[in-house]
Structure 1
Amino acid sequence: MSVLSAAVVLVGLIGLLNLVLSFGIIRRLRAQATDQHAHSSRPKPTIRPTTLEDGERVVAVDAVTIDGRTVELPFAGPSFVGFFSATCSSCKEQLIPFVVTAERQPAGVQVLAVVGGTDEEAAPYLAELLSGRSEVLIVREQEDGPIQKAFGIMGFPAFTILDDGVLHGSDFQVSALPDRP
């Protein structure tokens, strides 16, 4: 009988120790969550679509549009440039906002779309870009091509606002760009 009593007491003590340790773990988790919440008010580092910072100049490069025109980049004056990869799902989501924003640009703003991927993959992008009411210059180039290197593109989709070749804003979403340089 004394062995049975000792076993019951031992199991009870183990249960009590388990309860105390569980409360300690819960208290630490709550403190950690509170600490993380306090640190979340700090500004998080922003991930940019380009290596260029606002105020930096884009390197000059020549390009040929899909209709055979040779253009020199960056453009003189204000410009709005979008970079798309035909295999990127976010690019598909941002294509129509890009076209709508291109149509809203005032006279004198040059709009350029750079589309990467195979001809078959890029066909829907080209059709959508050509269906817009505004004149969008379209350049096809493979990923990590010369235009993307000149702009320092690190991810897709990427959108930039420039004035005389100086970057005034870039983002992965059209809606996050400033209205004009």
Structure 2
Amino acid sequence: MGYVVVALVLVGLVAVLNLVFTFGVVRRLARQDRELATLRAVLPSNPEEVMNAPGSAPEDFGEVTTTGGEHLGRDSLTGGIMLGFFTPTCAPCLAQASPFAERARSLGRDRALVVVVGSRDDVGELVALFEPVARVLVEPDQGPVQRAFGVRGFPAMCVLDPDGRVAAVDTGVDRLPEPAARAER
């Protein structure tokens, strides 16, 4: 009879412990749900809200230097270019990085530009992925190119028309049209 009482007490303790853990998990899930709701309120719901709208021209950002030593200014972003803004701390950026690199490879290095936002210590993997297929800039958050294009979220991608104006904006490379090359005059 003593074994039955001990077994019932142990089963009761396990049930109480299970109940305590269940309440803890439910509380944590509720907190995460509130945090996600806050993020959804802050993040753009429309991909076109992630940066300046189609039809706009980027502001002048002076001159910047790519990781390959090429100097770029706003006037060098003509001829139909695909441009992407990525940061290594963003899961959607990491998910879109390889598809963007594949599209860049098909366009050619001169028609793809990637701005990697972050500290030089953190951006190594993204830079290594993009350098063989695109021109790459590394800048801190709210750097000159990011400000010139009004980037408000990541990833942000756009296609520039032959005159350097924003033709299309999205957060996924598969939804971007092919950039139109400048017609020979």
Seen in structure 2, the aligned counterparts of structure 1 residues 114 and 139 have a Cα distance that, compared at 3 Å, is same
Aligned counterparts of 2:83 and 2:165: Cα–Cα separation in 1: 12
Tell me the CA shift for residue 49 of structure 1. 4.7
Residue pairs, 1:1-181, within 5 angstroms:
46-61=46-61, 62-74=63-75, 75-105=77-107, 110-130=111-131, 132=132, 134=133, 136-163=134-161, 164-181=163-180
Seen in structure 2, the aligned counterparts of structure 1 residues 68 and 154 have a Cα distance that, compared at 3 Å, is same
Structure with max Cα Rg:
1
* 5+ residue gaps, structure 2: 1-44, 181-185
Aligned counterparts of 1:129 and 1:54: Cα–Cα separation in 2: 25
Q: How many residues align?
A: 133
Aligned counterparts of 1:120 and 1:106: Cα–Cα separation in 2: 27
What is the RMSD of the two structures over their aligned residues, measured on CA atoms?
A: 1.9
Structure 1 vs Structure 2: percent identity of aligned residues? 29
What do residues 116-144 of structure 1 show as CA deviations (whole Å, max 9, x unaligned)?
A: 112222011011112x4x3x111110011
Aligned counterparts of 1:86 and 1:142: Cα–Cα separation in 2: 12
TM-score normalised over the length of structure 1: 0.67
SS in 1 for 2:54: coil
* 5+ residue gaps, structure 1: 1-44
Q: Decide whether the 8 Å contact of 2:86 with 2:156 is kept in 1.
A: yes
Aligned counterparts of 2:51 and 2:115: Cα–Cα separation in 1: 17
Q: Decide whether the 8 Å contact of 1:49 with 1:156 is kept in 2.
A: no
Seen in structure 2, the aligned counterparts of structure 1 residues 47 and 160 have a Cα distance that, compared at 3 Å, is closer
Shift >3 Å, 4+ stretches: none
Q: Decide whether the 8 Å contact of 2:118 with 2:141 is kept in 1.
A: yes
Tell me the CA shift for residue 52 of structure 1. 1.9
Aligned counterparts of 2:85 and 2:103: Cα–Cα separation in 1: 14
